[in-house]
């Protein structure tokens, strides 16, 4: 595109001191892969698309749910049920037809990482779970890709840039220098379990987009080797410099090691936990020998009135005993994470019933599927 054509669309940023046509051309020549098109991905995609990133790849294998919309305003109510990657790509193409937008509506696995990441110059982690976060980090370290990382929890968010060597630090910090090993399963709650204020990922995602633009164009001081925390309730930011740690033992050192690393296992999601899907669960509902246990905290929403169950928060599982005549226990929580942990705790405690399951996808998925079925 001609300089005048570029200027027309991007003039409001090109006139900034230190920006100009050189910075704009750098953006237009850059390829970025955005992993996760959820709460963080939406603002990241909108602002990178608007800013004129030359090529934007979007990875997400999830479909739009009604409970996404309070914090993912790139989507519409009419789009509920569509693949997020496809719907987001459509919106960004409509926002800026001059750039290339590619939808990858696939589950990110080790092999997919190795196929996709080398095609892009920058990676942006907008994922919503530790398995993916550690997988992306390790792949970026092995492939030498700069990584802009953001995450949210309730009213707080974190932003960092990893794997960017500088003159002062030729061996740059990565995610594992900040958090060397993944937390145990259920130790840190995700948005589905802990909740999140809708505008918070908007703030954090906008910061991430800004950081990537700074990194590509060379303006300001991007958060390289630093982690910034933003607390929305106090309206307070705090940033720390990330020191280099000894390489953690679970960090793969070669591409082959990486391919053989089971990130679900690493993050505590042992395949030994038996999950049942919502359909199987529905078929079990009529069986009087089933004890169904809600392991969420007492006041958590949504309330479940559709079937009989007992409430028993995860922290108290040690005191849970099966009532008379029960042969199977099904635990459920919001997303399926804490209920998987409940299965493990129950088995560790030597619970007398051996048929113990976790409702996969939690009550949110169960309700979504049953609501659709009744329409």
Partner 1 sequence: MAISVMVFGQLTDWTGGNTVQVEGVADTDTLVRVLKEKYPGLAQVKFTVAVDRKTITTNTPVHPGTTIALMPPFSGG
Binding residues (CB under 8 A) for partner 1: these are 36, 38-41, 125-130, 133, 150-154, 156-158, 177-179, 181, 183-184, 187-191, 194, 196, 201, 227, 229, 231, 234, 238-246
Closest approach, Cβ 240 to partner 1, in A, equals: 4
Closest approach, Cβ 268 to partner 1, in A, equals: 11
Q: Residue 41 or residue 361: which is nearer to partner 1 going by CB?
A: 41
Q: Residue 109 or residue 153: which is nearer to partner 1 going by CB?
A: 153
What is the C-alpha separation between 317 and 235, in angstroms, rounded?
37
Q: Residue 99 or residue 191: which is nearer to partner 1 going by CB?
A: 191
Q: Residue 127 or residue 163: which is nearer to partner 1 going by CB?
A: 127
In 3D space, the residue among 36, 11, 41, 40 whose CA is nearest the CA of residue 24 turns out to be 11
Chain centre distance of CA 209: 16
What is the C-alpha separation between 211 and 40, in angstroms, rounded?
13
Q: Residue 10 or residue 175: which is nearer to partner 1 going by CB?
A: 175
Closest approach, Cβ 140 to partner 1, in A, equals: 16
Complete DSSP assignment for 219-231: -S---BTEEEEEE
Q: Residue 192 or residue 293: which is nearer to partner 1 going by CB?
A: 192
Closest approach, Cβ 216 to partner 1, in A, equals: 22
Return the beta strands (E) in 80-165 as ranges: 100-104, 122-125, 147-153, 156-162
Q: Residue 99 or residue 267: which is nearer to partner 1 going by CB?
A: 267
CA angle 337, 341, 342 (to 5 degrees): 115
Cβ proximity of 358 and 340 under 8 Å: yes
Closest approach, Cβ 98 to partner 1, in A, equals: 28
Instruction: Characterize the bridge pairing of strands 290-294 and 328-332.
Output: parallel
What's the chain's length in residues? 375
Closest approach, Cβ 221 to partner 1, in A, equals: 14
Closest approach, Cβ 2 to partner 1, in A, equals: 38
Closest approach, Cβ 108 to partner 1, in A, equals: 12
Residue entry with tokens 């892969």: 33
Axis crossing angle, helix 20-29 with helix 3-14, rounded to the nearest 10? 110
Cβ proximity of 311 and 331 under 8 Å: no
CA angle 128, 311, 361 (to 5 degrees): 30
Closest approach, Cβ 20 to partner 1, in A, equals: 33
Question: How large is the C-alpha radius of gyration of the chain?
Answer: 22
Q: Residue 217 or residue 334: which is nearer to partner 1 going by CB?
A: 334
Q: Can you say whether the dihedral through the CA atoms of 60, 46, 140, 156 is positive or negative?
A: negative
What is the C-alpha separation between 35 and 123, in angstroms, rounded?
8
Helix, strand, or coil (residue 184)? coil
Axis crossing angle, helix 199-217 with helix 41-51, rounded to the nearest 10? 40
């Amino acid at each position: 595109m001609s300089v005048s054509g570029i200027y027309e669309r991007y003039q409001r940023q090109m006139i900034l001191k230190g920006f100009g046509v050189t910075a704009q051309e750098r953006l237009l020549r850059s390829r970025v892969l955005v992993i996760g098109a959820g709460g963080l991905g939406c603002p990241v995609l909108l602002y990178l698309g608007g800013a004129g990133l030359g090529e934007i790849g979007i990875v997400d294998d999830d479909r739009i749910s009604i409970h996404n919309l309070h914090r993912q305003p790139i989507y519409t109510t009419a789009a509920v049920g569509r693949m997020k990657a496809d719907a987001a790509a459509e919106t960004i193409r409509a926002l800026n037809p001059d750039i290339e937008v590619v939808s990858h509506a696939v589950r990110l696995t080790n092999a997919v990482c190795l196929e996709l990441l080398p095609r892009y110059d920058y990676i942006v982690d907008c994922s919503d779970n530790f398995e993916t976060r550690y997988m992306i980090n390790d792949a970026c370290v092995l492939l030498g890709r700069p990584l802009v990382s953001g995450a949210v929890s309730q009213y707080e968010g974190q932003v960092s840039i990893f794997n960017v060597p500088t003159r002062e630090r030729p061996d740059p910090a990565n995610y594992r220098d900040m958090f060397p090993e993944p937390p145990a399963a259920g130790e840190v709650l995700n948005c589905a379990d802990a909740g999140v204020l809708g505008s918070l990922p908007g703030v954090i995602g906008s910061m991430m987009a800004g950081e990537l633009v700074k990194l590509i164009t060379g303006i300001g001081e991007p958060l390289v080797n630093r982690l910034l925390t933003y607390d929305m309730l106090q309206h307070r930011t705090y940033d720390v410099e990330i020191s280099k740690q000894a390489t953690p033992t679970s960090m793969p050192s070669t591409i082959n090691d990486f391919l053989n690393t089971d990130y679900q296992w690493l993050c505590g999601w042992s395949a030994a936990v038996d999950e049942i899907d919502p359909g199987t669960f529905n078929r079990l509902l009529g069986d009087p020998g089933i004890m169904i246990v809600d392991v969420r905290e007492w006041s958590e929403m949504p309330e479940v009135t559709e079937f009989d169950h007992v409430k028993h928060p995860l922290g108290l599982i040690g005191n849970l005993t099966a009532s008379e005549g029960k042969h199977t226990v099904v635990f459920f929580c919001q997303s399926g994470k804490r209920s998987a942990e409940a299965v493990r705790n129950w088995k560790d405690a030597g619970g007398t019933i051996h048929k113990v399951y976790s409702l996969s996808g939690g009550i949110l998925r169960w309700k979504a599927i049953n609501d659709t079925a009744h329409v």
